[in-house]
Amino acid sequence: MQTQGDWLPARAALHPTGLYFALRDIRAAELQDPFMQETIARLPARESVVQVARGDVGKGTAGTAPGGIVFHVSRCGSTLVSQLLKQQVGIVVYAEPLPVNEILVPPHKWPRAELVAALRSLGAAFARHARKPYVLKLTSWNLLFCDVVAEAFPESPWVLCLRDPVEVGVSLLRQPPGWIWEGEAPAAAFARFVDSDGVAQSREAYVARLYAAFCEAACRLDPGRGRLVDYPSLPAAAWEIIAPHFGQPADATLRARMQSAATMDAKAPIGRPAAFGGDATAKQAAAGESLRREVDRHARPALARLLALHAATATAPG
């Protein structure tokens, strides 16, 4: 792998011959956009392509795991979390990095053990770029494969950002992410994880079942290494729970910076700041009966199982 310059892993590709990375010469300090790919698009930079031979993937990666992983169910404050963590100069945050998606996207090109190894090689590339502890804030659908991520980085603490499934559903229906639909139908890459029986359903049913699939996947994570962060606990949870859990306790100065940053819209592009405005009440009011019915049928029972798992872990002796 390349060692000169600030080589940020911008793309990844799995091929029969090995793992390829496209690297961009972008300093870690530049990663202030809400999402890593926005920084890559914004800044012109030299590019280099390197290969890790298939037999070497995953080797030499000891000590390069992330200092924290942020999973989330989508539209739940995870971007706020990543932007607040960036106020800590002692870490680098990679927000929804495309190379992780390119390794995990189904159908998987490599067997599970090799996917795990590929994630470790990617983690090593991020560690070389960061030159300090780093955090991965993942894309929402990565949660479907959180057990693969956890196997790659078994010592990394994680948090899972949650929000009331009605509010998440309203947001996904209004402004669907690019990966969720193909035309009028659910994206084939993910549909089988959400709709295993193949029954035709409404969009309201699909997003409710997607939320349930996220929660069911999260139940495969070791609750002893994780924390659940509910949307109403933000932004205070960023400095009270998440930063300390990631080994970055927030002193008074950092807490003040985080509190100031939390007053702004976390997804606003650089150079176009906007004040944050809460929308939980409006989203609850906008939810139709169909969405509420499907959420009660699918999402809430799965969420209850996840919450119970963590409650039992928290109260277990020892």
Q: What are phi and psi of 184, to 5 degrees?
A: -95, -5
Residue positions counted in the chain: 318
| Segment 254-307, tens digit of pLDDT | 999 999 999 999 999 999 999 999 999 999 999 999 999 999 999 999 999 999
Provide Rg for the chain, Cα atoms.
19
pTM (two decimals):
0.96
Provide the residue type at 35 as one letter: F
Phi-psi map region of 291: left, alpha, beta (phi>0 left; psi -120 to 50 alpha): alpha
CA dihedral angle for residue 299, residue 96, residue 66, residue 32, rounded to 10 degrees: -130
Q: How far is it, in rounded angstroms, from Cα 163 to Cα 76?
A: 5
CA dihedral angle for residue 195, residue 112, residue 57, residue 10, rounded to 10 degrees: 10
| Segment 5-55, tens digit of pLDDT | 699 999 999 999 999 999 999 999 999 999 999 999 999 999 999 999 999
Residue linked to tokens 């229906």: 173
Q: How far is it, in rounded angstroms, from Cα 308 to Cα 297?
A: 18
pLDDT at 252 over 80: yes
How confident is the model at residue 184, as a pLDDT?
84
Q: How far is it, in rounded angstroms, from Cα 125 to Cα 7?
A: 8
For the chain, which residues make up each domain, given as ranges? 7-315
Q: How far is it, in rounded angstroms, from Cα 171 to Cα 210?
A: 13
Q: State whether residue 26 is helix, strand or coil.
A: coil
Q: State whether residue 108 is helix, strand or coil.
A: coil
pLDDT at 4 over 60: no
Q: How far is CA 227 from the centre of its chain?
A: 14
More confident residue, 117 or 186: 117
**Is the bond preceding residue 107 a cis peptide, omega within 30 degrees?**
yes
3-state percent helix, strand, coil for the chain, nearest multiple of 5: 50, 15, 35
Q: How far is CA 316 from the centre of its chain?
A: 28
C-alpha angle 10-177-97 in degrees, rounded to nearest 5: 20
* Cβ–Cβ under 8 Å, residues 215 and 144: no
CATH code assigned to 7-315: 3.40.50
Q: How far is it, in rounded angstroms, from Cα 130 to Cα 137?
A: 14
